[in-house]
Structure 1
Amino acid sequence: NDFRRLWIQRINAACRQRGTSYSRFVAGLKAAGIEVDRKILADLAVNDPDAFTALVEAASAASATQAQAS
């Protein structure tokens, strides 16, 4: 449980650096059909920022597409 909180804090901080929020990011991942757990997302945020940025961009694109469709 403490680890989950830490992972979410790390993901949220990385999302904010990229101009989005944790909740929008997670919703975008779901809309894009990307299933990556929080442990891996937190690891990418810290150790592979380029991959994390790519996920943020994919999530944002999926959110925008979903918003236009509804």
Structure 2
Amino acid sequence: MPRAKGGFKTRRRRNRVLKEAEGYFGKRSKAYRSAQEAVDRAKRYAYRDRKARKRDFRSLWIIRINAAARLAGLSYSAMMGGLKKAGVTIDRKTMADLAIQDPSAFTKLAETAREQLAA
């Protein structure tokens, strides 16, 4: 049986992996097998962390809203409950941005929530 050498397709596949591993440290960027393992692991982390990034940002927004709400004399849950009763549909990303960029507008939101809780 003739010896099967690495032809065009094999070389192209290996070069693609080595291209993706450019910038990795040491053997991970030069040896095909090490590069393949490193690239596979990097892709797994990238897939997982695209999901985790969304959770992390939502958590950050909630922390910021809670801190600003407490300065306005409310807890996070009370503020969100009051805004829901008031029919205010503003997402957490925007509220967190308001808390940092425009505290007076955030205070008005807190007042709206407080009025709904009192009623």
Same fold (TM over 0.5): yes
Pick one of 76, 84, 99 that aligns with 1:22: 76
Match of 1:42 in 2: 96
Q: Find the counterpart in structure 1 of residue 5 from structure 2.
A: none
Larger radius of gyration: 2
Where relative contact order (Cα < 8 A, 6+ residues apart) is larger, the structure is 1
Q: Structure 2: 5+ residue runs without aligned partners?
A: 1-54
Deviation at 1:63, TM superposition (A): 1.1
Question: Normalised by the size of structure 1, how large is the TM-score?
Answer: 0.91
Partner Cα distance (1:22, 1:41) in 2: 12
Question: Which digits, 9 at most, give the CA deviation of each residue in 1:22-70, with x for residues without a partner?
Answer: 00000000010001000000000000000000000001101111xxxxx
> Identity percentage over the alignment?
57
Aligned-residue offset at 1:8 = 0.2
Q: Distance in 1 between matches of 2:117 and 2:77?
A: 11
Runs of 4+ in structure 1 deviating by more than 4 angstroms, as ranges, are: none
* Stretches of structure 1 lacking an aligned partner (at least 5 in a row): 66-70
With structure 2 as the length reference, what TM-score do the two structures score? 0.54
